[in-house]
Amino acid sequence: MSPHAAEMLVHQVTPRIRSAVPNAVKAVGCEDAAELVQDTICIAARLYENAERAGKQVTPGNITYYAIQHAKSGRRAYGQSTTCPLHPATQLNGRAELDSFEQPVGSEELGEELALSDVFSNDQEDPATQAARKLDWELFVTTLNDRARALIERLIEGGTFSDVARSFNVNASTIQVTKHQLRTRLIEFFGANILNDIAHLPQWKQNLLANREAIACKVERMPA
């Protein structure tokens, strides 16, 4: 950009953009007026550069007008997309709509108001945690003898210790000893806190609840 164009941008285009954008350009999502002003100024600078490369003479009024029109259509300094659901242009065209997970949704059957996050959420662990635990469990099983593996498999199937005892032709006390040995091996392999870790809510669920509680506390502290 030439010095003359830079001077026009700073002294004539920027003040007009600062005055017009907050009222003329619709903010989308988390955008605010200050961010829109910055984006529009960047667009104006790019228009000046393109005009100079093409050898065209433009006025500050023309640059301001077209920069604001670009911003109104959803174009931003970081690009334009009509397929990305998060881009302002996509939302302004009505092709996508973003809703907060804290948005309330009605439930006539339950008789209570739920947040959108309650509808989509569940208490399952994320796939990465499940995969890591599966690998650890498979490695642990390879360290067991046949009797201990049979005991685990029979319990998973809903069987009893007596079934395992009959399968290996041993008495019930021997199976009880195997059970206690298995418990000790589990604690040594996975750690003493394994049961607490399994009972905990997934981390994403804890973060969601903590954020919701923080917002509720902030609302309660606001003056009436």
Secondary structure element (H or E) that encloses residue 115, with its range? strand 114-115
Range of the domain at 161: 127-199
CATH code of the domain covering residue 133: 1.10.10
Which pLDDT belongs to residue 16?
93
Q: Are 7 and 88 within one domain? A: yes
Phi then psi dihedrals of residue 76, to 5 deg: -130, 165
Inside any domain, residue 181? yes
pLDDT per residue of the chain (224 residues) written in tens, 0 to 9: 788 888 888 999 999 999 999 988 888 777 788 888 998 999 999 898 888 888 888 888 999 999 999 888 888 877 777 677 667 777 777 777 776 667 777 665 556 667 776 666 666 666 777 788 888 888 988 888 888 888 888 878 877 778 778 877 888 888 888 888 888 888 888 887 777 776 666 676 777 778 777 777 776 776 65
Q: Are 155 and 214 within one domain? A: no
Q: What is the separation of C-alpha 3 from the centre of its chain, rounded to a whole number of angstroms?
A: 44
Inside any domain, residue 150? yes
**Contact of 60 with 16, CB cutoff 8 Å:** yes
* Helices and strands per DSSP (H, E), number in the chain: 12, 2
Q: Are 8 and 116 within one domain? A: no
Q: Are 217 and 109 within one domain? A: yes
Phi then psi dihedrals of residue 87, to 5 deg: -80, 140
pTM of the complete model: 0.46
